[in-house]
Chains A and B, each alone.
Chain A
Amino acid sequence: MNSTLPDYKQMMSPEVRDRFARLVRRPVIMETRNLFKEFPTSSGKNQIVLKDISFQVHQREFLSIIGPSGCGKSTLIRILAGLETATSGEILLDGKPVVAPGAERGMVFQKYTLFPWLTVCRNVMFGLESIGKDRDTAENIALQWLDIIGLARYADYYPGQLSGGMQQRVAIARALAPQPRVLLMDEPFGALDAQTRTQMQNYLLEVWRNIDITIIFVTHDLDEAVYLSDRILALKANPGEINELIEVPLPRPRRSRMLLEPEFLATREHIDKLIRPPVKREDECEFKVVNMVGDKTFL
């Protein structure tokens, strides 16, 4: 329906083009080389979930990973976090290979994974204490973080007493407090309602703008990916492999009104075509309204 939209690549302003030129000159923070992941199946044949994934993330970049369901995007980010191991290939963080989970790669999950038995402040302190900060230092840093996310008032609340959006803000603060090199986010706003989701997106951009952090963000929401990211890694399903790396032609800082601008719509349209699975004939069923009541007044 938006076939009148021009190609998104042509819409990039010189400023944005310049931004990307600077971006790729920044140091590479995280890199994957020829990553493969296979799962054994009951039939004995291994199913290839990720096939030959190679990409680089530069310092302070916001990279989204998007793809149809089952393309292995969650598996990919879990491998980056060290929670799962790749069958073959390499993951490098600052040039050093990644083998296990660690504090230098913070992670935010879709489920709010706050520790329910710890107060909000203690939750944020958890990572700091894990990397060897003493209690007082950890508490001071945690309180600063709660200030940044605007939840200082709730320091002594338990997570169960907060709304979903607030809990996810605490989870972000908890992941950022130990100053990771990269923040991995696995559909972090997927469980939130539409309104809170928009708020959280703007809020995340605000935090990202103000600190030195690189973000890898997995989502299945097109608007979210285009609105937030510098570049978007679109995956194919079965097996999951890189389809295209898209540079988003929108300037920074992002504003909600950009959701209606042609640059946004063209990029969205382009990715939509990329990741929408080809429709098979048997899926194209026709819906017929059947009059179940047998009563003319129903029609």
Chain B
Amino acid sequence: MMKMQNVGCFAIRKKLTRRQEYILLFLSFALPLLLWCLVSYVPFLYHPLVRVTDAGDSFLCAPGDLIERSAFEEENRELASSGGKIMRGERANPAYLPAPHQVARSLVTAFLTPPRRDGEAWFHESIGHSIRIVFLGFLISSLFGVPLGILCGTFPFFERLIEPFIEFFRYFPAPVFATLCVAILGINDAPKIAIIFIGTFFQQLPMVANTTRSADGALIEAAQTLGASRRRILMKVIIPSVLPRLYKDMRILLGWAWTYLIVAEVVGTSSGISWFINQQAKYRDFSNVYAAIIIIGCIGLFCDMFLAWFGRQIFPWESKHKGIFYRAAEEIFGPRDQVFSIVLSKEERRKRDEQHSA
């Protein structure tokens, strides 16, 4: 006899309850944070350095210095043997490992601290600049990549004409074009947008073409037997049938565009969020560096959550698996079909029913 096993949360492919899912969502962030807290606040776990609080009679160190524990002990031994006043200090982590509260404080103070030199960008200006570059690069790439990709995916003629070269070009890493872009387009924003364009476009076109090719042939045949013209099949069957998948592709590609941003921003005049990060690293203000990284991550995550939620609004016939972040977005922005829907409204439906019965 088979015994029904009670495996609780660890059943294979069994859906968890909503409550369990939210607890796990919380834990997936809380556990890394806890590890970080332990490393930061429990001195005997890591803390490989010593921060000097009182330099005593040492000529080598000053208060506030961060030195290796072995060097600190050596110096103190020498001071003790020569009869000088020994140094005092506390165990500390390296500068590149700030504590959570410092980073949390920087998340706010990064926005409030004026730039160190006149004419430099505030933090929010840097972020705005970065978003603008990514958006423009991605937009220009999509303006060409999406229509061309759809053409390649629909007509073998364009597939054979365009795709081989694109496939070849795809293997050039986008950053190798940095110097060329600067030489051609100058040192301001134009070469940065060009790098993002190069990085995105040559991935986008084959991706869109492949997705378009995955359009269900049976639907195309059905449209043909209904007398649809070539143009109508392209516009009313192929494109709508792959639109949800194209939208998903765009979400993935937007993530790639963000990756190329970091390369793009060091091209020509350094700018945007990576300029800010480099600058803060030079000042050895690593809590600001972490704050900036976290903010980039959050922008990406919220952007994607919004796009996922928006996708469900415009493609109501697609009802696949709902991710946890999607559900969170649904709770923030409102459930599907309420905000924006292509289904007829109740009013329209009533009007049509009247027409029909008349």
Interface residues, chain A, CB within 8 Å of chain B?
A: 81-83, 100-107, 109, 111, 113, 115-119, 126-127, 130-131, 139-140, 143, 152, 155-156, 158-160, 171, 174-175, 178, 184
Contact = CB atoms under 8 A, between A and B. Distances in A.
Given A143-B356, A158-B317, A117 B240 contact: yes
Contacts of B319: 160
A160 B222 contact: no
A127 B223 CA distance: 8
A113 B227 contact: no
Contacts of A178: 226-227
A81 B227 CA distance: 11
A126 B243 CA distance: 18
Interface string B220-250: 0111111111001000110011010000000
B344 A130 contact: no
B221 to A, nearest CB: 5
A194 to B, nearest CB: 24
Nearest to B243: A117
A81 B344 contact: no
Contact of A101 (B221, B237, B240, B241): B221
A34 B6 CA distance: 67
Given A113-B218, A115-B241, A158 B316 contact: yes
Interface size class of B (residues with CB under 8 A): 20 to 34
B313 to A, nearest CB: 14
Interface string B40-72: 000000000000000000000000000000000
B219 interface: yes
A130 B228 CA distance: 5
A103 B344 contact: no
A109 B232 contact: no
Contact of A126 (B218, B223, B355): B223
B349 interface: yes
Top 5 A-B pairs, shortest CB-CB distance: A103-B227, A127-B226, A101-B224, A113-B222, A107-B225
B240 A115 contact: yes
A116 B317 contact: yes
A156 B343 contact: yes
5 contacts: A82-B225, A107-B221, A111-B218, A113-B218, A118-B240
B232 A101 contact: no
A130 B226 contact: yes
Instruction: Count chain A CB atoms within 10 A of each CB in B219, B225, B343 and give the residue with the most.
Output: B225
A130 B240 contact: no
Given A115-B219, A117-B315, A158-B316, A131 B227 contact: yes
Contacts of A116: 241, 317
Contacts of A82: 224-225
Q: Is the interface of B mostly helix, strand, loop or mixed?
A: helix
B317 A106 contact: no
Interface string B330-352: 00000000000001100001001
A261 to B, nearest CB: 36
Contact of B226 (A111, A139, A159, A175): A175
Contacts of B356: 140, 143, 152
B221 A126 contact: no
A126 B225 contact: no
Contacts of A152: 356
Contacts of B228: 126-127, 130
B8 to A, nearest CB: 33
A139 B349 CA distance: 12
Contact of A102 (B227, B241, B343, B355): B227
Given A109-B218, A156-B343, A126 B226 contact: yes
Given A83-B225, A105-B225, A160 B317 contact: yes
Contacts of B218: 109, 111, 113
Given A109-B218, A115-B219, A116-B317, A130 B225 contact: no
Contact of A109 (B222, B240, B344): B222
A107 B222 contact: yes
Nearest to A104: B227
A123 to B, nearest CB: 10
Interface string B178-204: 000000000000000000000000000
Contacts of A126: 223, 226, 228, 236
Contact of B227 (A83, A127, A139): A127
B306 to A, nearest CB: 22
Interface in B238-289: 240-241, 243
Nearest to B239: A117
A152 B349 CA distance: 12
A174 B222 CA distance: 10
B225 A119 contact: no
Contacts of B236: 126
B221 A83 contact: yes
A139 B353 CA distance: 11
B344 A106 contact: no
B233 to A, nearest CB: 9
A174 B221 contact: no
Contacts of A143: 352, 356
